[in-house]
A and B are shown apart, each in its own frame.
Chain A
Amino acid sequence: MADTLILAGLLAPWAVAAACAAALRHRQRLAARVTAAGSVVSLGAAMWLWANALGGRAATAGPGALFRVDGLSALVGVCVAAVAGLAMLPWPGTGQGDADPGRTRFFRIFASLFTLSMLVAVTINNVALMWVAIEATTIVSAVLIPLHRSKASVEASWKYILIGSVGIALAFAGTVLAYFDFVSLLGRRHDALNWTLLMEVAPALHADVLRLAFVFLLVGYGTKAGLAPMHTWLPDAHSEAPAPLSAMMSGVLLAVAQYAIIRWKAVVDAASGPAFTNQVLMALGLVSIAVGALSLVRQRSYKRLLAYSSVEHSGLICLGLTFGPAGVFASLLHLVNHAVAKSMSFLLAGRILARYRSADVGAVTGLVRTMPVTGPLFATGIIALMGLPPFGMFVSEFLLFRAGFAAGQIAATSAAMLLAGIGFIGLAGHLARMLHGARPDGVAAGEREWWPLAPLAVSLVVMVALGLFLPSGIAQLLGQVAEAFTP
């Protein structure tokens, strides 16, 4: 009963927020308050689920335990609720302040539905309904990309929905193949696609059918996770979308897709051992790191810079999954770090874009003096993304590479380190150019309205805390999940 209430507390606020924004056409201020209150409730529920998972118990709710929250679900759920709560605050780029309440309303409706479908995806036990929820994320986020209609945003939204839908359709083909294997063995059962049941019977399933299914699933969910070579939609969509949407897509949508990959990897590994899944994940991971890092060097737009950095980090997370329990631990920690640092950087990039009216690195100079609060915070976010101490990503990358060497993957780990180094240089060069130099003419200096940035203090604290020490609540949960998801 308590579980049902908490799960309702996690999901319902976003449905309410979407409904309020839709119904209260002329009272968007009230809708904003409902959304803010709802996001606090949702985050609180997610934290409760986290604490519950720490006790080694999975919370379940709904008919036939349709919803099930274990450690992995709680981990991604907290990230989604936190980043969404942050992104729903009034940031520039969503119509707030530019005298277009219709646009604000439109954004609020679909961003709430987007969050809802991500949260459903990570809490539902049925892997086919998880697919339905992830497909829904594509649809509701795609409509928000051309919020400010331009040639570039229309093109980006088309690429996103076409490549995203085709990719995710292949993931459904993979789901059908796995279901087919189950049906051939045990007959038709309505709960056959429950992940818990799949895990139970997996050792008896046919390894070669599941391997074929995994290829489809990895191409499908890998497309959503921004893994190369299926990543081509990502830099366009992330750079053209309004900043808060980019923050959600880059910070947590990629994590939700990785979540689906982790779930399926566990099933396939139970049937055929981890050798096959590790090989394909390692290959895709390394290609993604290479594409992301090398593209960082020659970008001209700072939003595309952040987008390619997502490809790189998605590749790192993917690679870490192949390094045994220590690698999974590092990957999940990296996933959390990336969600925090990347969402913050995108939100700040939106403010920079609103001030300079250009997404070109070359057009943004003298950032520190022009925007005395946003500038240093943005620099902090980028430095964290480069993997420097004292921020969390330094720790997770270190743990990831150490796990790689410990697992005997010397060549792959060295290659990843080298590529990460190239990405580091790329980011550092661009950042230096943006921070210093003279302020361009026509761009106002100073920042009177810095108070909307106050919530980012939370991101900052989390980033530094994860870099200096690993709180036991986090370490313990990650340890449990890593243990449960490696055969």
Chain B
Amino acid sequence: MEGLFSQVAALGSSGVLLCGLILLWRRGVGAYITAFTWQSAVLAALTAAVGYFGADRQLYVVAVLLFLIKAVAIPRLLRRVAQRFTAGREPAAYVNTGTSLVVSGLLVLLAYAAARPLEAISDMPTRAGMPLAMGLLFVSLFVIISRRMAITQVIGFLMLENAIALLAVLATYGVPLIVEVGVFLDVLMGFLVMQIFLYDIHDTFSTTDVDVLKRLKH
């Protein structure tokens, strides 16, 4: 049973990380949104699985909330934004695809190094996935700083949130439910405000390429 549990955990977290890596080699906001949707769905399934194996019913609630908010509601809103004002393909990133993949590989290696003290003290069957969660965290940060479209930065931010949720569920079987609810509320509110700002940027600058946001200097 425990062997199966750790396999499911490792497989699920690899799936979550892989969905994140799609952002690096695909070009096009539609593909990013699909990747994010799948990532959230896998994360929700993994959360439910941890709830089943770890015998924690609260995690089922978290999994359902996660699925509804991050795999249904937010992707739908994102698609509406994307249809409104993107021509599909995004302008070239600050870093090209090849370099991005190499950098991300290095970041995942770094995550393995950083997560070593964590794995050492844990005896949970899910611990093998922790470096992958850290890896996704670093890769999401890289996506946010290396992309030019505001909407891609938002997707990067949402993936960063997923990375932290993954870390929480693997390392601790989830933070207490009251905290989880607060976090979901913040994620949703934060996303809605970001969405408003996306429209603001588009209305004011007629583009969502953040390269134009260079007025304010010193």
Contacts and interface: CB of A to CB of B under 8 A. Distances in A.
Contacts, number: 135
B135 to A, nearest CB: 13
A147 B23 CA distance: 34
Q: Which 7 A-B pairs have the closest CB atoms?
A: A132-B182, A180-B171, A128-B179, A155-B213, A135-B186, A236-B216, A208-B117
Given A154-B200, A158-B201, A209-B118, A176 B171 contact: yes
A445 interface: no
A11 to B, nearest CB: 16
A193 interface: yes
Interface residues of A, number: 53
Contacts of A165: 157, 190, 194
Given A129-B178, A183-B172, A149 B204 contact: yes
A138 interface: yes
Given A176-B171, A298-B218, A166 B144 contact: yes
A142 interface: yes
A193 B186 contact: no
B167 interface: yes
B84 interface: no
A206 B141 contact: no
Contacts of A181: 121
B153 A162 contact: yes
Contacts of B172: 176, 179-180, 183, 188
B189 interface: yes
A159 B213 contact: yes
Nearest to B115: A212
Interface of B: prevailing SS? helix
B97 to A, nearest CB: 23
B193 A143 contact: yes
A173 B179 contact: no
Given A149-B204, A166-B157, A169-B160, 16 more contacts: A128-B175, A129-B178, A129-B179, A132-B182, A132-B183, A132-B186, A154-B204, A157-B197, A158-B213, A159-B216, A162-B157, A165-B194, A176-B175, A179-B172, A192-B176, A212-B118
Contacts of A180: 118, 122, 171-172
A486 B101 CA distance: 45
Interface string B173-185: 1011011001101
A412 to B, nearest CB: 27
B6 to A, nearest CB: 16
Most interface-central of A155, A192, A239, A240 (chain B CB within 10 A): A155
Given A129-B179, A132-B179, A176-B164, A161 B190 contact: yes
Given A136-B186, A136-B189, A176-B175, A206 B204 contact: no
A303 to B, nearest CB: 11
B18 interface: no
Contacts of B141: 166
Contacts of B173: 183, 188
